[in-house]
Structure 1
């Protein structure tokens, strides 16, 4: 009868490419070490313990390129390379030395395309078998996700810079006065009526617009007449000339069925001459349930924009 590790290896060979879907069993339920590789962790380096004179076998579920093996201080190892098995036997010269790195690259070109292992030398104990399950993804899919992440990071960096700039001044009433956003007459606000458009997912009530130097804000109550919660994911004002101003939303919480919620939408606009009318558009995460308010106007300012 085959030993469990040999039988498992033969089953892996017979399974072919379908083995890529395998995952490591819970700790203690598998013989030897098990490592999973994902496309999201292409820079991660896994440590493997080796010992002089003891063989360590790496068992991959994906074909390794014939020229895809790089091993530091290769002359101090006996190496038996294969398509899916790589066996290393460290020499006695490795005792007491710093870890070496081994990198293998895969044949199919999917991500992750390579994997790196840090080989840590132990004087007496080495891992006999290391099984590697690789969750491969097409490179185009990974690149698209990375692009999306870069764009999101750029947006977040811009928001952080904006918050830092605002934190350079005081908060509260003092901040409003020091920034010039509020003068002796306060911040002008006005009530706006007849702004609802047909087909809205929620009902808007008590719409109020306010204006300060460099800022415009809309406050209103949303009533959810439906049966599912609704959360505003994005908002923007569309001006009379088609200009679009992206708005921030507060609070970021759902409008529950049958309940109202007061929302505040704030945008930046340095042109004090812009009073509207605007169209305010809000949408949820999937963009299917929207709220549109038309003829939204703002009080005029007589002073120029602040610095």
Structure 2
């Protein structure tokens, strides 16, 4: 559909309401989760995040008894692939957000610990893609890799803190947008994408996007959704958001802002802001919003930016 370019004072919009929601996590879950098993921690049960349609793979350093893998709710997984020392899980949409399922694996060699238990927690949008499980001593290389990952996370946290501190010192309104470097000579471009959006059928009875607008600045993107709550007892408050491209890569969500809690039958404004270069903002994205510890989510496909 045709798009129009105009300067949008998005910063004024974000400052004009009460922030009732913050992003649950600015980035995706870590690429590798490492679990070390010892004979005396049999009662310790690690919790692993899984999500519908996303793959979680367990990689063990010992062979498994493939016919003795116990997976609660196995029939509600789209894929359960048991290998010699691997286990790949892809949950289906039949799982409920917040649900916890028990997974037990047993090892072939009979050494202690003879088995390992995990608690799979269903997240609305995020999953731990790779879980490495060690029974023996880990190699030096794995510790070095883990240290590198911790340092990278620390650098990201330091950057987030610096950005938040810088935001506290800039003026509001248009002056704030200019001083922050968000505006270039093209300003902020906007596009109404309501008619292009594909809303997931499974959410049709709970939430409805009445209008969707997308924006792009020199440093990032934003999506403005006018949301209606159609079903559910308590007012709906957004807890987290993801913006995922077709290749599966996620944009770094910086802010999730909501005008007010949305009661049944009412409309409310939700804004999602993310880091993105002009190149990274190309193509169609899937936007997912979810509430805290609740089943009501909304997924909007084919979100594009100017």
Give the TM bin, normalised by the shorter chain: 0.3 to 0.5
Larger Rg: 1
Per the normalisation by structure 2, the TM-score is 0.43
Per the normalisation by structure 1, the TM-score is 0.43
